[in-house]
A and B are shown apart, each in its own frame.
Chain A
C-alpha cells in the first residue's frame, strides 16, 4: 500500500471512529470536555517525543492524567466540569508549548501534533485506529441501551437501580481513545472538528439516536476522504482540509434544516 492509499484509509477509519464516538459526545453534551482532552494530548505527545516513547502512548497517559484532574476539580459533572475543562484546555496547550520551547532540538516538527500529518501515518497508527473503531462499535452495540437511558434521563436511570459511573467511565474511555487515535491524522487542535462536526450535523438532520449513530460515522469517514483528496488536488495541508470539510457538513446540515423548516411552514 502506497503512502497515499494508506492516508486515505486512515482518514476514513479515523473519520468513522470520530463520528461514531462524536455522536455519543454530542448527545451527552460533552463537546467542551472532549475539546479540553484534545488539547491535553498535545503536551503528552511532546513529552513522549522528548522521552523517546510512542506518541499515542504519551498522549494517552496525558489524557488519563487530565481526566483524573478534571474528575477531582469538577467531579466531571454539569457546571463544575465546564470550569475544569476550560482551565485544563489552556493549561494543557501552554504546557505543550513550554515543553517544546525548552527542547529546541526535537527531531520532529511539533507542528504536526497540532494540525496532524495524515500523509505520514504509520501502519501502527492505522492498526490502532481500526482496533479502537472495533471496540467503540462493540461498546455501542452491546451497551447502547444503557448509554441511551443514562444520557436521556440520568436520574431516571439511577432510580431504575442502575449505577451511573460505569457508563460515565466507559464513555470517558471511548472519548480519550478516540482523541488519542485521531491525533496523528488531524492533530490536537483540529481533532475536535472531526469529533463534533459530523455528529452535530447528523444530530441536526436525523430523528432518532440510531440514525445519528449510523449517519455520524459515515459523515466522519466522508470528511476524512474528501479532506485528503482535496489536500492533494489543491495542494493544502490535509488536517485543515479534513477539519474544514467536516465543518462544511455541519453548515450544510444547518442550512438544509432551515430550508426544510421554511418549506414546511410555507406548506402549512
Chain B
C-alpha cells in the first residue's frame, strides 16, 4: 500500500475554492457554511455519516443543486470552465438495463468537448482507449455496461471522467461494495491522475481510502466540522463530533466507526 506524503502544495495552482457556501434542495437547506480549497495534484476526502451532505456538496460544486450563499470557483471562475470537472456518480444510480457498451459510456466523457452535432473522431476514440487502459478495462470495451460487475462499472464511470480530461475530479462514494482488486485499480488510477496535476474531491465512508489517496480531510455533519491536513483533522474529538450518533474508537492508526468502515 502506498502512503501518500501528507504535504500541502501551496505553490500548485488553486483548482477549487469554496467559500462560505450553502446549498439547498428547493426551500429546504441541505448544507451550510462550507469553506475549503483544493490545489492541483491534491486530494480532499469528504467524510461524514449518511445524510451528512457529502453527495450534496459534490452536486453543489457541479451546480446540480441550488447554491444559496457563498461562492464556488473552479480554476478561478464560476461557473466552472466547460469540461474542467469530471464527475463519477455512484454506479447504482445508473440504469443497469440500458443497452449501451462500456466503450460508449466512456465516449460520453468526450461529448461535451466535441460539442453539439459533431460525431466522435480518431482523437476521441484514442482518448477512450487510453482511459479504458488507465482503469484496466480495455478487454471489456465491447461489454454491455449492465453486464459488468459493480466494481467494473465504477471503474468504467471513472474512465468516462478520465476521458474528458478534467482538471478537477469529483468521486461520490466510489469504493462502496468493491472487492480488493477493483479497489486497488481505482486507487491506482486516482493517484496517477493526481500525479498529473488533477485535483480530487472524494466522498467516502472509508477512512482507509482517505489515508491512501488524500492529503486533506473535510469532516461534514450537515455543516462543516473540520477541514485541514489529514492527520490533524482525523483526531478523536473531531470524528466524535462528526459521527455524533454512532460510537467511535480511535488510536494512532485507525478510526473505527461502526457501520461505516466496511465496504
List A residues at the B interface (Cβ < 8 Å): 27, 142-143, 145-146, 148-149, 151-153, 155-156, 158-162, 203, 206-209, 211-212
Contacts and interface: CB of A to CB of B under 8 A. Distances in A.
A151 B104 CA distance: 13
Contact of A159 (B85, B101, B107): B85
Contacts of A207: 99, 144
Contact of A161 (B83, B95, B104, B114): B83
B164 A160 contact: yes
B117 to A, nearest CB: 5
Contact of A160 (B59, B93, B108, B144): B108
Given A155-B64, A206-B99, A209-B99, A146 B111 contact: yes
B111 A160 contact: yes
A151 to B, nearest CB: 8
B108 A153 contact: yes
A146 B144 contact: no
B129 interface: no
Contacts, number: 74
A104 to B, nearest CB: 49
A148 B114 CA distance: 15
Contacts of A155: 59, 64, 89, 93
A31 B111 CA distance: 27
Interface of B: 59, 62, 64, 80, 82-83, 85, 87, 89, 93-95, 98-101, 104-105, 107-109, 111-112, 114, 116-117, 119-120, 144, 157, 160, 164
A142 B117 contact: yes
Contacts of A212: 99
A152 B105 contact: yes
Contacts of A161: 80, 82-83, 85, 112
Contacts of B99: 27, 203, 206-209, 211-212
B199 to A, nearest CB: 16
20 contacts: A27-B98, A27-B99, A143-B116, A145-B107, A145-B108, A148-B100, A148-B108, A152-B105, A153-B89, A155-B59, A155-B93, A156-B160, A158-B62, A159-B62, A159-B87, A160-B108, A206-B99, A208-B101, A209-B99, A211-B99
B112 A160 contact: yes
A212 B119 CA distance: 19
Given A158-B64, A209-B100, A152 B117 contact: no
A3 B120 CA distance: 45
Nearest to B97: A203
Contacts of B120: 145
Contacts of B160: 156
Contacts of A160: 83, 87, 108-109, 111-112, 164
B78 to A, nearest CB: 13
Nearest to B110: A145
A149 B116 CA distance: 12
A140 B105 CA distance: 18
A155 B112 CA distance: 14
B64 A149 contact: no
A31 to B, nearest CB: 15
A6 B114 CA distance: 43
A175 to B, nearest CB: 19
A212 to B, nearest CB: 6
B117 A156 contact: no
B251 to A, nearest CB: 38
Contact of A152 (B64, B80, B95, B116): B95
Contacts of A162: 111-112
Contacts of A151: 98
B102 to A, nearest CB: 12
Contacts of B100: 148, 152, 208-209
B76 to A, nearest CB: 17
Contacts of A206: 99
B28 to A, nearest CB: 17
Given A159-B64, A159-B89, A161-B80, 12 more contacts: A145-B108, A146-B116, A148-B100, A152-B98, A153-B93, A153-B95, A160-B109, A160-B112, A160-B164, A161-B85, A207-B99, A208-B99
A240 to B, nearest CB: 30
Nearest to A206: B99
A146 to B, nearest CB: 7
B82 to A, nearest CB: 5
Nearest to A202: B99
Contacts of A143: 116-117
Nearest to B58: A159
A146 B115 CA distance: 9
